[in-house]
Structure 1
Amino acid sequence: MNKKNLIAAGLIVGSVMLSSFAFYAYQILYTPNILVDQESQLFAIYDGTTFEEVRNELYDRRIINDAVSFSLLAKLKRYDENVKPGLYELKSNMSNTEAINMLRAGLQTPVKLTFSTARKIEELAGKMTTTIQMDSTDLAPLLSSDSVASAYGFNQETFISMFLPNTYEVYWTISEKELLDRMKKEYDKYWTVERKAKAEEIGLTPEEITTVASIVNAETNFADEAPTIAGVYLNRLDRGYKLQADPTLKFAMNNFEIRRILNKDKEFDSPYNTYKYAGLPPGPINMPSISMIEAVLNYEDHNYLYFCAKDDFSGYHVFAKTLVEHNINARKFQNALDLQRIYR
């Protein structure tokens, strides 16, 4: 074979090799390798996870088709040296480039953190960590810490009022401090100038409004009568009457199953016993819903000073302006309890 033929053959072989390399490079970079012909999935990477563990889990779960090409590009992009924890949405038919760029940049998919009413602040640790990486045992001590409460402008009795039941978008890797900071930010956002002005007009602080709302929250499940009940308690506070709220006594006794308050219960010594002590208890007796806080801020202006559960056990209440009226209503309810053999 002459020299020209050798050069031509070499060019042909080189061209084929170059084309093959270019084709393979293109495949590595741009052809689908993630969840090929499958639905999108969420993929969690925990703190301390190595690249090898990430790759192996992706392959074992059949999220990636070709582990070799994924590993090669990950190392070229130095993702193997910079694994970031988080919850990521790996989409159907993603390329290695798309997936690795997302993982390397730590572009997490937010999760929804939802919590509703709770009786005590310690219950929040479990409720707030169901959809995030955080362990409830790491959050719980912070919720019961006087110094943490103080750092956010509360005390241990009022700290629960900082947490507004709602649904929030957060990152799966959110830290304890970041979570508490977020809750304080949402609290400050809720307590606008207008709402603070309403509270001031009522004569209460935002924390005290929440305390009243927590009592209303424990009294009724019905939004339509919540402003009426709020008005009763605000009237009693305004006149210097003891609130005499059954839910505060149940909270004080740490017994929420009681259906019938007895006279001896009213002697239970606790600052939360509003039969024994005038004014508001030291803090909320639960974490009220936002609608209950709104019910207090927009209370019904009336002359009622008393209310009692209806004797039909509907959950609604009957209201009275005088003690004589109230005693009649209360006797009807007591008789209904007797007929149902409810003595405690």
Structure 2
Amino acid sequence: MYIKKILLIIVLLGLIVGGAFAYLIYNALFSPNTAFNNKEAYIYIPTGSSYDELKSLVIPLLSDIETFEAVAKRKNYIDHIKPGKYILKKGMNNNEIVNSLRSNNIPVNVSFNNQETLEKLAGRISTQIEADSISLLKAFTDTGFLQENGLTADAGLSIYIPNSYEFFWNTSATDFRVRMRKEYLRFWNDDRLKKAKVLNLKQEQVIALASIVQKETAKVDERPRVAGLYLNRLKKNMLLQADPTVIYALKRELGNFDTVIKRVLYKDLQLNSPYNTYKYAGIPPGPITMPDISSIDAVLNPEKHNYYYMVANVEDFGYHKFAIDLAQHNRNKTQYIRWINEQNINR
């Protein structure tokens, strides 16, 4: 009888200990373990992160780091940390948290437009993915990559079509470049290629001309007319004489693309630069900015007309007055110069 009591006590103690242990395991796995008030929180895990580095990222978001660590070890996550952007939702338990961090790298939207240089593009992209601006610029300007794709250094900006794209946050600089090259090839579908061929322009020339259209007018509905004007001038072997190209050349000469130039002076037209379309014929060697798709398509689908000249319309700001001949243009220009002098815009 005495032995039976002892055995019964041992069994009961075993059940209690086992139950307590099971409770602890269940609690560690399935009890909520988030400490933030928002519906969700994001964690950005850099490439090559150690567990200690990950731990420093999650500590502010968790109620109990020890139970998280126990589950992470049990699920063999500590030695298999992956970089990327991950989401934690309020009320998640440790099991869900570890599963999310292990296999739910979510993409980010990367958007860019109207960058004037590859340097500016690299800076813009570096704020949206893990790759820094230095590694991005190195990838963009890599001589081997440019030559492989038939691009000059001046035309390097051409292959980055402005839009919004999905990337994983931990995308490397070279992977970003490769993806954008694929997007560029996808953009140039058969229809666009045929239209460029009809214009007798290479793809990079279309984009360089579109960049001038982009800078000339912010009005999307006016872009086909502006594009038609420049194409008319090209057909007649006339200089493009586009003020935005002179402004770009001046900024390039100064080495500062943050310079604000509101007025092109007559002396500026003498600047010796292949981007100065008052001095050099044809399309510049590269884009003077990153044109919107609307500007590219405006070049490929220009308005048919007989205009060769234009000047800003001071009676309808944002738009231009167009002219067929120089006499009409000079009348329009006189009105513009009078207005700009009244504004005391000297530079």
Q: Structure 1 length normalisation: TM-score?
A: 0.92
| Whole-Å separation in 2 of the counterparts to 1:205 and 1:75 | 57
Q: Does 1:125 align with 2:125?
A: no
| Whole-Å separation in 2 of the counterparts to 1:163 and 1:57 | 34
| Whole-Å separation in 2 of the counterparts to 1:15 and 1:234 | 88
8 Å CA contact retained: 1:122, 1:144: no
Match of 1:71 among 56, 69, 77: 69
SS at match of 1:189: helix
Match of 1:223 in 2: 220
Q: Does 1:263 align with 2:266?
A: yes
What value does the CA root-mean-square deviation take over the aligned residues?
1.9
| Whole-Å separation in 1 of the counterparts to 2:56 and 2:207 | 50
What aligned pairs does 1:285-324 form with structure 2 within 5 A after superposition? Answer: 285-312=288-315, 314-324=317-327
| Whole-Å separation in 2 of the counterparts to 1:289 and 1:157 | 18
Match of 1:2 in 2: 2
8 Å CA contact retained: 1:35, 1:94: no
8 Å CA contact retained: 1:320, 1:326: yes
Match of 2:248 in 1: 251
Match of 2:147 among 130, 145, 150: 150
8 Å CA contact retained: 2:308, 2:325: yes
Q: Show CA shifts across 1:88-111 (max 9, x none).
A: 111111121111122233x21222
What aligned pairs does 1:173-188 form with structure 2 within 5 A after superposition? Answer: 173-188=170-185
Residue type of the partner of 1:180?
R
Residue type of the partner of 2:299?
V
Q: Show CA shifts across 1:133-190 (max 9, x none).
A: 2211222233334333223432211111111122222111110011101111211121
Q: Show CA shifts across 1:81-133 (max 9, x none).
A: 1222222111111121111122233x212222121211222211111111222
Shift of 1:234: 0.7
**Count of paired positions:** 341
What aligned pairs does 1:1-344 form with structure 2 within 5 A after superposition? Answer: 2-35=2-35, 38-59=38-59, 61=60, 63-105=61-103, 107-254=104-251, 257-312=260-315, 314-344=317-347
| Whole-Å separation in 1 of the counterparts to 2:134 and 2:152 | 21
Aligned-pair identity (%): 38
| Whole-Å separation in 2 of the counterparts to 1:146 and 1:329 | 46
| Whole-Å separation in 2 of the counterparts to 1:34 and 1:27 | 13
SS at match of 1:114: strand
| Whole-Å separation in 2 of the counterparts to 1:237 and 1:149 | 27
Residue type of the partner of 2:167?
V
8 Å CA contact retained: 2:139, 2:174: no
| 5+ long unaligned stretches in structure 1 | none
| 5+ long unaligned stretches in structure 2 | none
Q: Structure 2 length normalisation: TM-score?
A: 0.92
